[in-house]
A and B are shown apart, each in its own frame.
Chain A
């Protein structure tokens, strides 16, 4: 674009004409953010459909609907689709939309690489889903991967050709994530408007900066691990096979060196989101801004030295078990700091409870439940009981569904009026919140009981002793799944329905930060000239002194 042309009419839209130009060749951070978010929603429903199949099968003891082999494909694909297709792209979408507007940059640092990061994803997921789709729709081949999302050999290598598809797809997702992370770091470090010092940035931006470093550190590790799986299966190496001098447990070490930071990749941006929303609806500055930033950084650091808490039962030296137990428990300290700071932010604030705030509050409470069950799992002798039971399933669904996904929903309700220029239907939003909050607990809380009673995870059938709570859990699951259709409707309604109330620029009475100084919806190209930043425009006031 010619330089002088854009300075003449900054506030006019220069949207590219035509579908292909606008979306396929997209370089605009808002368009790419939208595509990520839509992609994520589609994957959320696809993964959700698989969850419905799983809960349908588990509703009653005995085999009901599907073959055990297909059940294993469902659990494996559900996890891969939700983790890599729903949660991660949702956060990347939010990063694309919000980070440039929050730091006063005109766009992401590398807009064309940004295009590539996104467009790899549909291809990666086509590859991942192809074996399953061929089996389901045309009865071709053996179906999708069935060895669990953790891909442990030798089991994962006993699958058919789907192994190669899965590994190739994981590589593509990894490349996409790495390019996304590089873009985010470069944007935050180099593209901030003058005056937006690091310690004046919104906590959401901080959380993404740290998350992006985690991604850069561990996605290549995952890539290395799955490349070794590939050569073990197809090229005769024995990295993970004892017959050739390799070691299957080594895979677990490498996988979890990726895997544990990965779970924090899915929660740190959530911390950032909640740290933006709670001050707004408490009408008070965030309590302990710097402590929040340092806590995120400490959690990120600790996430590299706890990985073997996923492997307590494989047989490690006692010193190793103790080290990983105590290191894991240490994470409770910075996590506790964050929870207390959110509570102190609300203390004596003039709070209101619009839908984003409701989801953020539910996050604080329900994520903490997941944190507590995590602490229980961190206790080595206790984990010998809990490992591979439904207790673990309950734990990670509290941190991932009522944690990560609730935060995404909070973020969507919070920023949707900014994106579309219209207020969503608040009454429907509240219904969506309460129906979700109740059904999600009916769905996952009984899984604690099932796990403690000894029900193993990843099985299609179970002892009749587990029947009652499985029925309750399944009913909760169907209710939660159904409720999310309402979410899709609300979002669609807000972006299409012209009769909805127009949003103001600030949208929320207590909102602060650069993004709220732009119009709603913001111009297609925002901050093409850097804004002059005053303390009153900062998300959390001037915290630097």
Chain B
């Protein structure tokens, strides 16, 4: 289970970056949605 090989860590870092970008997309989606709700609601 132990690994002194740092490429495993680099793998995890790359996966983390993907997670971050997906979440950033979600954030902009929600922001847009609520703006839209304001436009439609008023």
Contacts and interface: CB of A to CB of B under 8 A. Distances in A.
- Interface of B: prevailing SS: helix
B19 A186 contact: yes
Interface residues of A, number: 42
Contacts, number: 95
A83 to B, nearest CB: 20
Contacts of B23: 181-182, 185-186, 216
- Interface of A: prevailing SS: helix
B42 A190 contact: no
B35 A224 contact: yes
A245 interface: yes
16 contacts: A109-B17, A110-B17, A178-B27, A183-B20, A186-B23, A190-B15, A190-B19, A191-B12, A195-B1, A216-B26, A220-B34, A221-B31, A224-B35, A224-B38, A529-B2, A529-B3
B20 A224 contact: no
B38 A239 contact: yes
A238 B30 contact: no
A224 B27 CA distance: 11
Nearest to A175: B27
Residue from B15, B23, B33 having most chain A Cβ neighbours under 10 A:
B23
Contact of A110 (B1, B16, B38): B16
B2 to A, nearest CB: 5
Given A190-B16, A224-B34, A216 B6 contact: no
B40 to A, nearest CB: 11
A3 B9 CA distance: 11
Contact of B16 (A189, A195, A217, A239): A189
Interface string A268-284: 00000000000000000
B12 A250 contact: no
A162 interface: no
A227 B6 contact: no
Interface of B: 1-4, 6, 8-9, 12-13, 15-17, 19-20, 23-24, 26-28, 30-31, 33-35, 37-38, 41-42
A478 B19 CA distance: 47
A113 B41 CA distance: 35
Nearest to A111: B13
Nearest to B2: A532
Given A109-B20, A186-B20, A220 B42 contact: no
Contacts of B8: 530
B21 to A, nearest CB: 9
B7 to A, nearest CB: 9
Nearest to B5: A529
B33 to A, nearest CB: 8
Interface in A455-491: none
A220 B6 contact: no
Given A3-B6, A190-B19, A532 B42 contact: no
